[in-house]
């Protein structure tokens, strides 16, 4: 199992881009996510990033798993902003009945609060999806070289890449432990939530011990190879910008300037809903 199989990415034109171009895309998406407060624009940005993930080869099942994992958090955001975001909420959708004890007639679910909650959901979704869009579509060797080319210290780049290599090993270790428990007659899928949490807590102990053992082995290997972390070294893999990379960089930089200029001059991206004031 390799780190790339987590997202099950296939080859696509997006994977051929240089890592620096992908970093510019991630920076632009992050900048726009914090610049815009409009639910419509943020929804369009989140949709665009999701479409780019599919074009890049990230499977729809992976995106679905991310959404299912985030659903409780998103539900909490809608409830909190819908009821208690008094800074934007003015148009009530539903008010607690007066007969309800203690909160009767005091809590209001507002259109603006729900809209702001959706805006925050789209913002977090953009930030969550843009990371695999960049990381899963880049070979680790190209990632290290790309980071060094943008003046990131080699030690930091190496630690980052080593962490990415380590994650699939942890997933493989979890799968092996779970399979061993199934062979011993432990049917986790038939248990309730509380029992499952107990079983997973027991998996954590051998998983942590295995991770510590692997980290010690890596330390011994690096010491045996006299690893110093010096940036004055040769690289087997080259990182060069091609025509497509320059086009992406120019488009991203132009979009960034345009979004910032429109926000200052026309207020594009401010929170608001069509037909409501």
Bigger pLDDT: 26 or 5?
26
What pLDDT does 60 receive? 87
For residue 95, the SS3 value is strand
* Average pLDDT across the chain, whole number: 84
Dihedrals φ, ψ of 96, to 5°?
-60, 135
Highest mean pLDDT among 109-113, 194-198, 272-276: 109-113
Does residue 273 register a pLDDT over 70? Answer: no
133 or 199, which is more confident?
133
For the chain, what's the residue count? 277
Model confidence over 150-171: pLDDT tens digits? Answer: 888 888 888 888 877 777 777 7
Q: What percent of the chain has pLDDT over 90?
A: 34
DSSP-derived letter for residue 17 is: S
Do residues 6 and 171 make contact, with C-beta atoms less than 8 angstroms apart?
Answer: yes
194-245 per-position pLDDT tens digit = 877 777 777 777 788 877 888 788 888 878 877 776 766 666 667 788 899 9
């Amino acid at each position: 199992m390799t780190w790339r199989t987590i997202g099950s990415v296939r080859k696509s034109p997006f994977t051929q881009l240089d890592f620096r171009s992908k970093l510019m895309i991630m920076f632009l998406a992050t900048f726009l996510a914090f610049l815009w407060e409009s639910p419509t624009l943020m929804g369009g940005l989140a949709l665009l990033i999701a479409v780019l993930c599919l074009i890049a080869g990230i499977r729809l099942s992976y995106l679905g798993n991310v959404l299912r994992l985030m659903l409780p958090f998103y539900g909490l955001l809608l409830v909190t902003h819908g009821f208690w975001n008094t800074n934007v909420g003015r148009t009530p959708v539903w008010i607690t009945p007066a007969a309800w004890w203690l909160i009767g007639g005091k809590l209001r679910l507002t259109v603006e609060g729900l809209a702001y909650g959706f805006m925050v959901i789209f913002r977090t979704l953009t930030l969550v999806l843009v990371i695999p869009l960049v990381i899963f579509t880049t070979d680790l060797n190209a990632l290290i070289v790309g980071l060094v080319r943008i003046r990131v210290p080699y030690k930091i780049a190496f630690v980052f890449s080593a962490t990415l290599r380590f994650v699939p090993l942890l997933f493989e270790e979890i799968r092996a432990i779970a399979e061993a428990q199934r062979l011993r007659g432990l049917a986790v899928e038939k248990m309730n939530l509380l029992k499952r949490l107990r079983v997973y807590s027991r998996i954590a102990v051998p998983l942590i011990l295995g991770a510590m053992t692997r980290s010690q082995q890596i330390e011994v290997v690096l010491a045996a190879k006299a690893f110093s972390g010096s940036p004055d070294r040769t690289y087997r893999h080259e990182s060069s910008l091609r025509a497509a990379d320059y086009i992406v960089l120019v488009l991203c930089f132009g979009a960034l300037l345009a979004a910032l200029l429109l926000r200052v001059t026309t207020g594009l991206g401010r929170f608001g809903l069509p037909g409501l004031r």
